[in-house]
A and B are shown apart, each in its own frame.
Chain A
Amino acid sequence: MAEVLANDVRLHVQRLEPRGGASPDAPVVVMVHGMVMDNMSSFYFALGTCLADAGCDVICYDLRGHGRSERTPAGYRLADSLADLAGLLDALGVDRPVHVVGNSYGATMALAFGLESAERVASLTLIEPPFLIDGLGEEMARSLTQILVAMSDDEVQEWLENGAGRVAGRATRAARRLLQETTIASDMLATPPFSPTALSALSVPVLAVYGENSDIIGQATGLASLVPDCTLIVLAHHTHMVLREATGYLRELLRWWLFDRATPAPPYVRATTRRFETPQWVTQMVPPPDLNAERRGELAEGSRR
Chain B
Amino acid sequence: MSGEGAARQAEIEARVLGEVSEDLRDVIGEEYAVDMEITMETTFSHDLELESIEFVALADRLRERYGAAVDFVGFLATMDVDQVINMRVGEVVRFIVDSLPTPATAGSA
Chain A interface (Cβ < 8 Å from any Cβ of B): 2, 14, 16-17, 19, 39-42, 44-46, 49-50, 52-54, 60, 62, 67-68, 165-167, 170-171, 244, 247-248
- From A19, A170, A248, B74 is in contact (CB under 8 Å) with A19
Task: Determine the residue in chain A with the shortest Cβ distance to B50.
Answer: A167
The complex places the Cα of A244 from the Cα of B77 at a distance, in Å, of 15
Contact partners of B76 in chain A: CB under 8 A:
45, 49
The complex places the Cα of A52 from the Cα of B55 at a distance, in Å, of 17
Q: Nearest 10 A-B pairs (CB), nearest first?
A: A166-B49, A53-B77, A41-B52, A45-B81, A49-B76, A49-B77, A41-B53, A50-B77, A247-B80, A49-B73
- From A19, A42, A53, A165, B81 is in contact (CB under 8 Å) with A42
Residue interface mask B65-109, A partner, CB < 8 A = 1: 000000001101101110010000000000000000000000000
Is B56 close to A, CB under 8 A? yes
Is B19 close to A, CB under 8 A? no
Interface residues contributed by chain B, number (CB under 8 Å): 18
- From A46, A52, A170, A244, B51 is in contact (CB under 8 Å) with A170
Contact partners of A19 in chain B: CB under 8 A:
73-74
A-B contact pairs, 20 of them (CB 8 A): A2-B57, A2-B60, A14-B56, A14-B60, A39-B52, A40-B56, A41-B52, A42-B52, A45-B55, A45-B76, A49-B73, A49-B77, A52-B73, A52-B77, A53-B74, A68-B53, A165-B49, A166-B49, A166-B51, A171-B51
Most buried by A among B76, B77, B80: B77
Given contacts A167-B49, A170-B51, A171-B51, contact A46 B80 (CB under 8 A): yes
Task: Determine the residue in chain B with the shortest Cβ distance to A280.
Answer: B82
Majority-rule SS of B interface residues: helix
Contact partners of A248 in chain B: CB under 8 A:
80
- Expressed in whole angstroms, the minimum distance between the Cβ of A235 and any Cβ of chain B is 16
The complex places the Cα of A67 from the Cα of B73 at a distance, in Å, of 20
Given contacts A14-B60, A166-B32, contact A40 B53 (CB under 8 A): yes
Most buried by A among B49, B53, B80: B53
The complex places the Cα of A18 from the Cα of B60 at a distance, in Å, of 15
Most buried by A among B51, B56, B74, B80: B56
Contact partners of B32 in chain A: CB under 8 A:
166
The complex places the Cα of A161 from the Cα of B104 at a distance, in Å, of 54
The complex places the Cα of A54 from the Cα of B77 at a distance, in Å, of 9
Contact partners of B51 in chain A: CB under 8 A:
41, 166-167, 170-171
The complex places the Cα of A71 from the Cα of B13 at a distance, in Å, of 39
B77 in contact with A39 (CB, 8 Å): no
The complex places the Cα of A68 from the Cα of B27 at a distance, in Å, of 11
7 additional A-B residue pairs with CB within 8 Å, beyond A44-B56, A166-B49: A17-B73, A41-B52, A41-B55, A45-B52, A52-B73, A167-B50, A171-B51
- From B57, B74, B79, B81, A68 is in contact (CB under 8 Å) with B57
Residue interface mask B28-58, A partner, CB < 8 A = 1: 0000100000000000000001111101110
